[in-house]
Each structure stands twice: as C-alpha cells, then as structure tokens.
C-alpha cells in the first residue's frame, strides 16, 4: 500500500528502520506538539516496540512519510471501534529538517483522502495544541474545519497549561469547508 504524491509518498513502515525513526522522532521540536504517548526521549527500543505494532495492523493505519527515498516522518489513523466507529483520530509529524516545504500538507491531504474514500471512514478528527500554528494551518489547508476551542485542555511538556483546537473533516459533502 503506497500512496504517492509530488513531494512525498506514504508507505508502510519497515521493522528495520527503528534507529532512523528514533533519531527523527527524538527531536524535541517534534515531541513537544505530539500527545504524551509519543515518548521523549525516544529510544530505539521505543521505536522497535511501536513499529512492531504498526506493521501488524491490517489494513495499514500508520504510514511512513518518505521524501526522496528517505524516511521523513509519519502520518496515521487511529480508528475508533466504540460509539465513534466510522471515525478516526488523525495525526502526523515530520523531522524538522523537512519542515516548511509543504510536505506535511501533502501527506495529510493524501492520508485524509485515502481514509475517507478507500477506507470509507466518515470522520477524521485531530486535536492540536493551540500554539501549534503550523499544524492548525496544515489541517485547514487539507479541508479540516475547526469545530472547537478546548479551553485549558492540554498540559505541554514543560507544564504549561494551554488551549487546544479540535479539527475535523467529514466524508459527506456537508463536511466540506
Ligand atoms: C506541523 C508540521 C507537521 C508541519 O510540517 P510542514 O511540512 O512544515 O508543513 P507545511 O509546509 O505543509 O505547511 C505549514 C504551514 O504552516 C505555516 N506556518 C508554519 N509555521 C507557522 C507559524 N509559526 N505561524 C503560522 N503559520 C505557520 C506555513 O507558512 C505553512 O502555511 P502556508 O503554506 O499557508 O504558508 C511540522 O511542523 C511538525 O512535524 N511539527 C511537530 C509535530 C506536530 O506538530 N505534529 C502535528 C500534531 S497535531
């Protein structure tokens, strides 16, 4: 399962890329805006454990973002299987060396379209720290709508309490921005 764009392609992870994944994902500038389940420091063993789960998912939920043949980051879905079934949490990150080139926007757009069409999901939701302006912008460029400001919802890694945004994109035409 490969989803190709102009700037990047999404492909399944490989179990043997744990050292590279740990190096890229280990940057504080990445971890600071991810949920606390994203470890920091990010050890090779953390990467191995995460990859073991990611590569066993059928269908593929978590994709490596590859740029010019190099691992650059990740984009993934966490589908819900409870009363929210048909929906998924949506997320992505890129190593800082790859920022500012429209790569996350393309990767997020490719994954959202895959999720809403081929996977048939109804709703994709993303929770964003309000200060993460780059990510909010990526979501808006990909047709996600800001549904809520989540006041004092999150605690940043340095202990700062901050607001969050809830963004979502729907499959139905009514969900179009
Ligand atoms: C968020 C992230 C994925 C963006 O990656 P990227 O490839 O640099 O994003 P793009 O280049 O596609 O687009 C970024 C957009 O944000 C804008 N932007 C960047 N920094 C900004 C800032 N401080 N304030 C406002 N806008 C900003 C850019 O100008 C661009 O918008 P434009 O195309 O309208 O000019 C990357 O910064 C990252 O991995 N951050 C850490 C992890 C993370 O935040 N993941 C998402 C969790 S919800």
Ligand 1 contacts CB of residue 105 (under 6 A): yes
Tell me, what's the pLDDT at 175? 56
The pLDDT tens digits for 109-137 are 999 999 999 999 999 999 999 999 999 99
Residue nearest to atom 31 of ligand 1 (CA): 137
The pLDDT tens digits for 24-47 are 999 999 999 999 899 999 999 999
Residue nearest to atom 48 of ligand 1 (CA): 128
How buried is residue 99: exposed, middle or buried, by Cβ count under 10 Å (0-12/13-18/19+)? middle
Ligand 1 contacts CB of residue 102 (under 6 A): yes
Tell me, what's the pLDDT at 3? 98
Ligand 1 contacts CB of residue 11 (under 6 A): no
The domain 3-124 having CATH identifier 3.30.1450.10: the answer here is no
Q: How far apart are CA 45 and CA 150, in angstroms?
A: 34
Ligand 1 contacts CB of residue 30 (under 6 A): yes
Residue nearest to atom 17 of ligand 1 (CA): 134
Exposure of 17 in the CB half-sphere (CA atoms within 13 A)? 21
How far CA 9 is from CA of 4, 107, 118, 161, 172, in Å, comes to 4, 7, 17, 35, 26
Does the reported pTM lie above 0.85? yes
Tokens of 22: 């740990």
Ligand 1 contacts CB of residue 144 (under 6 A): no
Ligand 1 contacts CB of residue 38 (under 6 A): no
Q: How far apart are CA 62 and CA 90, in angstroms?
A: 10
The pLDDT tens digits for 31-89 are 999 998 999 999 999 999 999 999 999 999 999 999 999 999 999 999 999 999 999 99
Side by side, which strands form the sheet with 123-129? 3-4, 9-12, 62-67, 70-79, 87-94, 123-129, 161-170, 145-155
For the CA of 99, the closest atom of ligand 1 is 8
User: Nearest to residue 30, comparing CAs of 65, 5, 6, 57?
Assistant: 65
Q: Are 112 and 169 in contact (CB under 8 A)?
A: yes
For the CA of 94, the closest atom of ligand 1 is 39
Tokens of 79: 């589908």
Tell me, what's the pLDDT at 177? 53
| pLDDT score of 173 more than 80 | no
Indicate the domain borders of the chain. Answer: 3-124
- pLDDT mean across residues, the chain: 96
Ligand 1 contacts CB of residue 135 (under 6 A): yes
């Amino acid at each position: 399962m490969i989803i190709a764009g102009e700037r990047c392609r999404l492909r399944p992870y490989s179990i043997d890329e744990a050292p590279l994944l740990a190096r890229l994902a280990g940057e504080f500038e990445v971890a600071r805006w991810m949920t606390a389940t994203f470890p920091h420091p990010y050890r090779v063993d953390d990467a191995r454990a995460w990859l073991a789960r990611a590569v066993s998912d059928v269908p593929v939920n978590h994709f490596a973002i590859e740029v010019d043949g190099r691992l650059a980051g990740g984009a993934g879905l966490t589908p819900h299987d409870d009363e929210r079934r048909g929906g998924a949490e949506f997320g992505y990150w890129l190593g800082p060396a790859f920022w500012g080139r429209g790569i996350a926007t393309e990767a997020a757009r490719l994954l959202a379209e895959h999720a809403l069409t081929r996977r048939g999901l109804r709703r994709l939701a993303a929770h964003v720290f309000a200060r993460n302006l780059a990510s909010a912008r990526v979501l808006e460029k990909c047709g996600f709508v800001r549904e809520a400001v989540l006041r004092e919802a999150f605690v940043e890694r340095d202990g700062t309490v901050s607001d969050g945004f809830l963004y979502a994109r729907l499959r139905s035409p009514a969900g179009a921005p």
